[in-house]
Amino acid sequence: MNIERQIDSFILYLATERGLSPSYQLSVRQTLDKLSEWMEQKKLSLDDVGTEDLAAFLAIRKKGGLAASSLRITVVHLKVFWRFISGRRYVEADVAEPLIAPKPIATLPDSVHESSITSLLEGIDTMKRLGKRDRSILELFYASGLRLSEVCGARLENLDAEEGFIRVTGKGNKTRIVPVGGQALSAVERYVKLERPELVKSRTSSQIFLSVRGGPLSPERVRAIVKERAKAAGIDSKMYPHLLRHSFATHLLQNGADLRVIQELLGHADISTTQIYTHVDQKHLKEVHQKFHPRG
């Protein structure tokens, strides 16, 4: 059986019936195209392929340098493809179902020292054009631990300046209310009062943070702002929005905040996602112990 025809049929299914994004479709196609090339080398058709063959294909991909995280995605792609072609009786059996994805490697999130955060924020000249906007963006990232999408989507009507809270919509379209620190709130208020009106155009909506054209800032532009401001402050480490979110959580934990509270602030559905920060804190404690204990 011709695999190319089945790949085309599957991608069409993902697009029309599942409504999955073009980027996901491309990712799946890249995996299946690699499989097709391998099968052609081995002179295998879809009817010939068994679980052992797919395992051999994965082994070749791993030997070729594919990371564990990418191998996991490859396994998922193979599973959904075989579920599709077996469900439609294009092949007799779902030979991908027994495949086991490699376990994810736990990586500790990076964070930035508090002094570097201070240098980053205070290094922005708010008297210069867009200084107030950029300062308030970075203040909000660090003060409230918001995601990039949440900062870009933040709206005026969802900011309660009197109570010091902002309502944001995060992953899974879930809404949560997050406190905004005093310094961040002051920065946002100064921007909204003194600089935002200059950016407003006839079609401007209620997003808090605006581009010079009066539209909402794109995630790409916000990433660039964070990087540019870090470089201007002389911070050598690679700076990006999620690093400020990690730093928010890490610094809260190091200063005694309860893990459940941090989970709520970050909007994590599962406490296990938040628990990775305990490993960061334990690493910090070990470093302190080694540095200051006589026999550390």
Q: What per-residue confidence (pLDDT) applies to 263? A: 93
Token digits of residue 26: 């491309």
The H or E element that residue 250 is part of is: helix 241-254
Domains annotated on the chain, with CATH: 3-87 (1.10.150.130), 114-292 (1.10.443.10)
Residues assigned a catalytic role = 147, 171, 242, 245, 268, 277
- The Cα 241–Cα 222 span in angstroms is 8
- The Cα 243–Cα 228 span in angstroms is 15
| 277-to-32, 118, 284 alpha-carbon distances in Å | 37, 21, 11
- The Cα 236–Cα 24 span in angstroms is 34
Encode pLDDT of 20-62 as tens digits.
Answer: 888 899 999 999 999 999 999 999 999 999 999 999 999 999 9
| DSSP state string for 111-175 | ---HHHHHHHHHTS-TTSTTHHHHHHHHHHHHHH---HHHHHT-BGGGEETTTTEEEEE-GGG-E
Output the furthest CA–CA distance in the chain (Å, rounded): 70
Tokens 């030997």 -> residue: 63
Q: What is the 3-state secondary structure (H, E, C) of 22-63?
A: HHHHHHHHHHHHHHHHHHHHHCCCCCCCCHHHHHHHHHHHHH
Encode pLDDT of 162-202 as tens digits.
Answer: 999 999 998 878 899 999 999 999 999 999 999 999 999 99
pTM confidence score = 0.63
Q: What per-residue confidence (pLDDT) applies to 254? A: 86
Q: What is the pLDDT along the chain (296 residues), one digit of tens a residue?
A: 679 999 999 999 999 999 888 889 999 999 999 999 999 999 999 999 999 999 999 999 999 998 888 999 999 999 999 999 999 999 999 999 999 887 766 565 678 889 999 999 999 999 999 999 999 999 999 999 999 999 999 999 999 999 999 999 988 788 999 999 999 999 999 999 999 999 999 999 999 999 999 999 999 999 999 999 999 999 877 899 999 999 999 999 888 888 899 999 999 988 877 887 776 556 655 665 576 656 65
Closest CA to 181 of 242, 244, 129: 244
